[in-house]
Chain A
Amino acid sequence: MHQSRAQTVAAGLGFFSIGLGLAELIAPRLVRQALGFRCSDSVVRLYGAREIATGVGILIAWKRAPWVWARVAGDALDIASSRSPAGIAALAGVTAVDIATAARLSREENVPLPRRYDYSNRSGFPRPADEMRGAARTKKERASGPPSFDTTVRV
């Protein structure tokens, strides 16, 4: 079963998020200058923690769409904090990828996966499975007891 393109992009965004978050934690001034943030280093570090949290969430979540939408919300905050046209342009580019991925994941994760091979008629039983429940306990075993692991069978 292969991952969809949106799942692959989401995984990439997860790693990107963790990387950016680490940079914001370790070198907040550099990131602040590069993206034109008008806030303190402490706030940039908080942004970094947010990035790492959403990145880890994307990578380990059963459903990734909510975590990618959380990135979109974070992107909006980043754009609002920036005063640099170049920074805003870069952040807007990432936001576009986030929105497209989140929208596609939302669609994918809310529909059942297609089943190419249908083995739903392969029970191996002569009757519906529910009617076979306990069948091994109701024939000859009724007299001799159910099969036991400790029974010694000689060849």
Chain B
Amino acid sequence: MKALCWHGKKDIRCDTVPDPQIEDPRDAIIKVTTCAICGSDLHLFNGFIPGMMRGDIVGHEFMGEVVEVGSDLRSKSAKLKPGDRVVVPFTIICGECEQCRRGNFSVCERTNRNRKIADKVFGHSTAGLFGYTHLTGGYAGGQAQYVRVPFADVGPVKIPAGMPDEQALFLGDIFPTGWQAAVQCDIQPEDTVAVWGAGPVGQFTIRAAVLLGAKQVIAIDRVPERLSMAQAGGAIPINFEQESVIERLQELTQGRGPEKCIDAVGLESHVGLKHPDTIYDRAKQALMLESDRPHVLREMIYVCRPAGVLSVPGVYGGLIDKFPMGALMQKGLTVRTGQTHVNKWAQDLLRRIVEGEIDPSFVVTHTASLDQGPDLYKTFRDKEDGCIKVVLKP
């Protein structure tokens, strides 16, 4: 089969690799009909997340048709059967451990095959992830024609007949990620919610904040087309290359600051002369003295209204420097973060799509074949050609 494989920093290729096989009675093999390149895939592409090995299949946003199941899924009462259309959450869950039973699916205690490495690095292991380093299990990803889905009796979300792939696909990651980012802010009707980053996750976060009733939603980015899409979704745009984020946010909140701040940027914040701390971070990153660039975290802590909430769906991988812990503590801010508990939200969000409350396909700007994937990684990374979300058809 064809698959997009990681071969090193800035080197992803469309290779021919062996087809996946059933390895466990709870497995299923999915024929991928649509997959996507996620912003967090760019961290792998740019070499900022450790733990990749040459030849690893990437991709954790995918959906398709079940073509084969393991022995546990062959009974008549099995949740999945060949022919079903499913979206597969990027977090692999067992559904049985204590964290899964609590609904904390992204920290499932059983699905990371390399949990000893993760225990060493993070203190405790988190869930296995598709196509996202050997720290999270080293599972083959879904930017491929076929993928093996472990624990297929609990993870995949069945999609109703007739729903286009582009509407359903994002239930596997960015839609619930944006939703969780907003929900964990505990949005109140009088709240101003500021969202840093108007990429795909930022776009869904903005719409979630609007649907959850925020009085005012503000999008912060530098790319005009992303800001125009954010504005379409109900946000007030701030272009940080044209105006001061702090001054504009203070102006929009009568000097109080936004009650809720969401970081949909993560570890690769933009580096520019207008934000000298980003140059400092980039220099330290180059010298391997810091792994992540936390400019957005610093700005959020500074501008957030005291007793406010910071929500961090953006991916961070390691260590940051010059973190204003004093301001965070003195202002009494709450931080909520984590990988998305996709299965906690997916059924509810699927209902919202079916009922017409939202159509997630608005975010798709580029559709291409798997062969074109390596080129589109570059297009997406460089934000060229109006690229916001790339969908691939294997």
Contacts and interface: CB of A to CB of B under 8 A. Distances in A.
Interface stretch (A20-28, A42-50, A73-81, A114-122): A114-122
B344 A134 contact: no
Nearest to A14: B273
A119 B211 contact: no
Interface stretch (A85-93, A94-102, A142-150): A142-150
Contacts of A118: 225, 228
Interface string B200-225: 00010001101111100000001111
A137 interface: yes
Interface in A123-153: 123-126, 129-130, 132-137, 139, 146-149, 151-153
A155 B226 CA distance: 35
B352 interface: yes
B307 to A, nearest CB: 17
Given A62-B274, A152-B103, A126 B213 contact: no
B315 interface: no
Contacts, number: 137
Contacts of B183: 147-149
Contact of A147 (B212, B228, B358): B212
B234 A132 contact: yes
Interface residues of B, number: 62
B356 interface: yes
Contact of B211 (A136, A148, A153): A136
Interface string B297-316: 00000000000000000000
Contacts of B243: 62
A154 interface: yes
Interface residues of A, number: 37
Nearest to A151: B103
A62 B244 contact: yes
Contact of A119 (B102, B273, B388): B388
B204 to A, nearest CB: 8
B194 interface: no
Contact of A116 (B102, B239, B242, B386): B386
B276 interface: yes
Nearest to B215: A133
A129 B103 CA distance: 31
Contacts of A125: 207, 210, 233-234, 357-359
Interface of A: 1, 11, 59-62, 113, 115-126, 129-130, 132-137, 139, 146-149, 151-155
